[in-house]
Structure 1
Amino acid sequence: MVMPGTFSLVLHAHMPYVKKQGRWPHGEEWLYEVMADTYIPLLDTLNQLVNDGVMPKITISISPVLLEQLADAYIKEMFEEYLKERIDLAEGDVKRFQRKKEYQKLAQFYVDHYTNILESFRRYNRDLPGAFRELQDMGAIEVLTSAATHAYLPLLLNDEWVYFQIKVGVETYRKFFKRRPRGIWIPEMAYRPRGHWKGPLGEEKSRRGIEEILEDLGLEFFFVDAHAIEGRRIRTLFSGGETVENDPNWIPRGSVYNSYKVKGSSIVVIGRNMETSLQVWSRDVGYPGDPWYREFHKIDNVSGMHYWRVTSKEIPLEGKKVYNPEMAMERVRVHAEHFSNLIRNLLRDKDESSIIMSPYDAELFGHWWFEGIKWIELVIRRLHDDDIVTLRTVSEYIDAYPPIDEIDLPESSWGYGGKHMTWWNDKTLDYWRKEYDAEKKALDLRTYIRYKNGKKRYIVQALRELLILQSSDWAFLIFTNQAPDYAEERYNKHYSRFLQLYLAVIDNKEISSNDVFSEDTVFDNEVIEDALLSI
């Protein structure tokens, strides 16, 4: 008799802080798009599964900065306005396409789609964190935390700010989910072990391992990319499509089908399963590139709706054919069956303590890959009550099969080249100079918050600016050239605001402008103050 192994689908939901920081093409609409395309459709799907007697058992990490924005009154109001605007635009297309019936049918499809999203948002009382909490409380899903603003932890200058980022993340999680998180998604799967460290600007010092700080804060597990465990035995393809460099530190240390304790600690680590990840991530063989799926990059120049399908990766945008939702759903069924069989085949010859942990950015599903949420639903339905596969959250798997063996992990990430190149390169050195300067100055504020209570508001706001400055998104957007000007504007703004607040504290001066306090409102004052006093 075959004993079933474990499949854990892990989604990581994150958006940088965009409140009142631009609207389109860069800014708040990034958040509104993924709320409409990913988060609400995912909640609808998970609840439908539960109503049908199918417990999804997915694990989802929601970054603390995203949680705060989803709960923000201003963001909620503006999101409703965004949905109403989309409905109006789609209704305008219904009239505009009177003589183009294929397009008119799609326009009505979008009217119905955005109307349903608005109705769902209101059904959840406009409280998306609360909707995820309900699913966790009933045992349908597990929610993990992350670093407060998704900082790239291995490259932060001081361990105190690594602790600070994770501490704020843990306490923000407790605020929304009324429990402590068991696991964490370390941003970009970026890990650094204990030992000698050399930073982007030539700094050298002895550093704590990331797992030591996780242990201090009561966390139990995290994830790394496959090469950190399996070394060069596999051809690793990253989200950007690049293979790992020939690094002698990447020797085979274990298997991604097992969990391990990080050497010298109680922290559990599990590696990304690449065979399953490639089926979704790969630009060459991944499902989202199917000719029948909706084309993300081509939009209508009047309404901004997507009316075309991939057609072929070799065809330029002007040659794309009209999207057909019915045919796309047929391909979803085929791909869900293919993926489910892949999971079965991979686990068929493994023992019952084996796990396939398949992690993805949540926004890939529904937003980038429009049909992806439906694919998740069908995969879960096919693997529910399977005789070879057991669906489990990551904590359920660790509880069932606690790791025995230890592993000595190398420095790694899931970025370009497998290390830090995406965030540490010639284009990002100015960012790190300013971030490091802010880190050094911020350490002074520990003394001032104890003895200059009249400036507590300024101190807390300065730390809020530091947190936003530390977001890994700015370096990523610069390196990938997706929005370099916006990223540079953002990190310079938050660095400047930090300096203004810092000097006001040091020199005991007042700040005349209130913009900094009204625009950057993420995280509770008490959470920030408590985290500062604990480092």
Structure 2
Amino acid sequence: MPSGYVALVLHAHLPFVRHPESDYVLEEEWLYEAITETYIPLLHVFEGLKRDGIDFKITMSMTPPLVSMLRDPLLQERYDEHLAKLEELVEKEIEHNEQNGHVRYLAEYYAHEFNQIRHTWERYKGDLITAFKQFQDSNNLEIITCGATHGYLPLMKMYPQAVWAQIKVACEHYEDTFGRPPKGIWLPECAYYEGLERMLADAGLRYFLTDGHGILYARPRPRFGTYAPIFTETGVAAFGRDHECSQQVWSSEVGYPGAGEYREFYKDLGWEAEYDYIKPYIMPNGQRKNTGIKYHKITGRGAGLSDKALYDPYWAKEKAAEHAGNFMYNRERQVENLYNLMQRPPIVVSPYDAELFGHWWYEGPWFIDYLFRKSWHDQGTYQMTHLADYLRENPMQQVCRPSQSSWGYKGFHEYWLNETNAWIYPHLHKAAERMIELGRREPADELEWKALNQAARELLLAQSSDWAFIMRTGTMVPYAVRRTRSHLMRFHKLYDEINEGKIDSGWLEKVEEIDNIFPNINYRLYRPL
């Protein structure tokens, strides 16, 4: 029997970005980059582990917006074109750098990588959800859900119907996608408020993830801290993030991703190449952008972009193996110490944004691969587990009331409510009030039924925590503002037309095509609870 457990949890999420009304929108590339750099590389890791007989266990949230985009035929077609452009560019780079040995080697390396991605994309016929689902069916991967559009739940708790819609729509969408109800939920931004667990229980959820201090300051104080889940009074379990292993992986300052051997994210061919040469591969308006082809390494802390040395995947992979070994060693010591203190096996929960692995930290999928292999072959102290298996095997836990928390700055809500984004909340609250009012209506005909359901979609999309987050970070702010305003404007237009009995059917049809998430939504979710 192991002395403890380690649970790696990845949060795979992107905001719903789909623009059939435009030939090109830069923000759609968030999805394409994540497919190329994170989701398909993770599938390669899972396939390799399975092929080599390693019974790996990992938990992964796949949020409804991400699932919807990955299954969307328009976005699948556009990704195919995006990948073809990358393949074309890298072949051009091989020829262009014929006399530059190391850069040519890197271009050939990327050509091979893109070829593997193309092969996997075509093997699954562009359906990555089915690709991930096969590992859920084999019980290697536990897929959990999130809020319907990643709405920040504590900031809408004064409207319980709005919180309920975020949870219930997500659960129904999950069941439609995976053919079974979800067992767990990654609370959007790990943000919890007292009483939320009652809705989670009503939705049939078995557990949720929150930040560590949500457990540490629970009442009564949990005997085992974050190293065992707690049960709420509703029977729903809460798992808390372990700060030590999170810092070790997440931080580019003191964590693994800042190593000099790793690939430099901010030095990209799209900004480095001569303008006329790169022009066919950047934005249609001629603005430069990242291409994903990067030839340099971090080199050293404090090194300017002009001082970066050329990257070498061989040494980066060696460093990823070293870091995986270090992570394993630290978890062994941590688990041994905790077991001696607790006199029972602890669980160390290690949750991260999935896009850290591959997109931001290029070597991240290698790290995961090495970690599972080393944990399987080289130690016997802990067992890798996913959260559903752990709860099934450990059904007795302390009952406590978690504390309000999030995994944002200072641990509470101010990253999503501050001087950069506070203006959105009066508008979101007004729309929520109006949607609850609409929830009581009985539609006069099919057109009104469609309008009511579209109003619900627009409110959910406006509530995405991503827009407030982007406003706070200061990147792509005009897009986040535009998305918030456009969804709210569409909602209020629908509200007015429904109440006036004058629904513009042509306009509604266009909006349904643009914001086509949740095809089976039922606006009646907003009726009083």
| TM above 0.5 | yes
Q: What does residue 387 of structure 1 align with?
A: 380
State the Cα distance separating 1:125 from its structure 2 match: 2.3
SS at match of 1:6: strand
1:361 aligns with 2:331: no
Q: How does 1:337-376 map to 2 (within 5 A)?
A: 337-349=325-337, 350=339, 351-376=343-368
The structure 2 residue matched to 1:292, chosen from 254, 257, 261, is 261
The structure 2 residue matched to 1:437, chosen from 430, 439, 448, is 430
Q: What does residue 527 of structure 1 align with?
A: 521
User: In 1, are the aligned partners of 2:458 and 2:487 still within 8 Å (CA)?
Assistant: yes
State the Cα distance separating 1:352 from its structure 2 match: 4.5
Q: How does 1:451-470 map to 2 (within 5 A)?
A: 451-470=444-463
State the Cα distance separating 1:231 from its structure 2 match: 5.0
Q: What does residue 228 of structure 2 align with?
A: 258
Q: What does residue 216 of structure 1 align with?
A: 202
1:328 aligns with 2:323: no
User: In 2, are the aligned partners of 1:415 and 1:422 still within 8 Å (CA)?
Assistant: yes
421-430 or 513-522: bigger deviation: 513-522
SS at match of 1:427: coil
Q: What does residue 98 of structure 2 align with?
A: 98
Q: How does 1:1-150 map to 2 (within 5 A)?
A: 3-20=2-19, 26-150=26-150
SS at match of 1:390: strand
State the Cα distance separating 1:510 from its structure 2 match: 2.9
SS at match of 2:422: helix
The number of residue pairs the alignment matches comes to: 501
Q: What does residue 282 of structure 2 align with?
A: none
Rounded Cα–Cα distance in structure 2 between residues aligned with 1:488 and 1:96 = 41
Rounded Cα–Cα distance in structure 1 between residues aligned with 2:358 and 2:264 = 12
User: In 1, are the aligned partners of 2:436 and 2:527 still within 8 Å (CA)?
Assistant: no
User: In 1, are the aligned partners of 2:436 and 2:528 still within 8 Å (CA)?
Assistant: no
State the Cα distance separating 1:256 from its structure 2 match: 1.0
> For residue 416 of structure 1, what is the amino acid of its counterpart?
Y
SS at match of 1:7: strand
State the Cα distance separating 1:23 from its structure 2 match: 8.1
SS at match of 2:145: strand
Q: Residues 263-285 of structure 1: CA distance to partner in whole angstroms, max 9, x if unpaired?
A: x2201011111111111112321
Q: Percent identical across equivalent pairs?
A: 35
Rounded Cα–Cα distance in structure 1 between residues aligned with 2:410 and 2:220 = 12
Q: Residues 100-148 of structure 1: CA distance to partner in whole angstroms, max 9, x if unpaired?
A: 2211111111111112111101112211111111111111111101111
User: In 2, are the aligned partners of 1:70 and 1:128 still within 8 Å (CA)?
Assistant: yes
Rounded Cα–Cα distance in structure 2 between residues aligned with 1:169 and 1:99 = 53
User: In 2, are the aligned partners of 1:57 and 1:393 still within 8 Å (CA)?
Assistant: yes
Q: What does residue 166 of structure 2 align with?
A: 165
User: In 2, are the aligned partners of 1:7 and 1:356 still within 8 Å (CA)?
Assistant: yes
Q: Residues 474-519 of structure 1: CA distance to partner in whole angstroms, max 9, x if unpaired?
A: 0000011122111101101111111111111111113243431221
User: In 2, are the aligned partners of 1:133 and 1:176 still within 8 Å (CA)?
Assistant: no
State the Cα distance separating 1:322 from its structure 2 match: 0.9
1:319 aligns with 2:304: no
User: In 2, are the aligned partners of 1:189 and 1:223 still within 8 Å (CA)?
Assistant: yes
SS at match of 2:264: coil
State the Cα distance separating 1:213 from its structure 2 match: 0.5
> For residue 440 of structure 2, what is the amino acid of its counterpart?
T
User: In 1, are the aligned partners of 2:17 and 2:28 still within 8 Å (CA)?
Assistant: yes
Rounded Cα–Cα distance in structure 2 between residues aligned with 1:530 and 1:495 = 19
Q: What does residue 517 of structure 1 align with?
A: 512
> For residue 8 of structure 2, what is the amino acid of its counterpart?
L
State the Cα distance separating 1:533 from its structure 2 match: 5.9
State the Cα distance separating 1:410 from its structure 2 match: 1.6
SS at match of 1:65: helix
After the TM superposition, which parts of structure 1 deviate over 6 Å for at least 4 consecutive aligned residues? 21-25, 249-253
State the Cα distance separating 1:165 from its structure 2 match: 0.7
User: In 1, are the aligned partners of 2:190 and 2:407 still within 8 Å (CA)?
Assistant: yes
Q: What does residue 175 of structure 1 align with?
A: 176
Rounded Cα–Cα distance in structure 2 between residues aligned with 1:336 and 1:326 = 16
SS at match of 1:85: helix
User: In 2, are the aligned partners of 1:268 and 1:403 still within 8 Å (CA)?
Assistant: no
> For residue 82 of structure 2, what is the amino acid of its counterpart?
Y
Rounded Cα–Cα distance in structure 2 between residues aligned with 1:3 and 1:515 = 57
Rounded Cα–Cα distance in structure 2 between residues aligned with 1:254 and 1:331 = 34
Rounded Cα–Cα distance in structure 2 between residues aligned with 1:25 and 1:276 = 37
Give ranges in structure 1 of 5+ residues lacking alignment: 194-208, 233-248
> For residue 364 of structure 2, what is the amino acid of its counterpart?
G
1:477 aligns with 2:446: no
Give ranges in structure 2 of 5+ residues lacking alignment: 279-290
> For residue 368 of structure 2, what is the amino acid of its counterpart?
I
User: In 2, are the aligned partners of 1:299 and 1:306 still within 8 Å (CA)?
Assistant: yes
Root-mean-square deviation (CA, aligned residues, Å) is 2.0
Rounded Cα–Cα distance in structure 1 between residues aligned with 2:174 and 2:127 = 15
State the Cα distance separating 1:222 from its structure 2 match: 0.7
Q: Residues 448-478 of structure 1: CA distance to partner in whole angstroms, max 9, x if unpaired?
A: 3444543111111111111110100000000
Rounded Cα–Cα distance in structure 2 between residues aligned with 1:466 and 1:255 = 37
Q: What does residue 277 of structure 1 align with?
A: 246
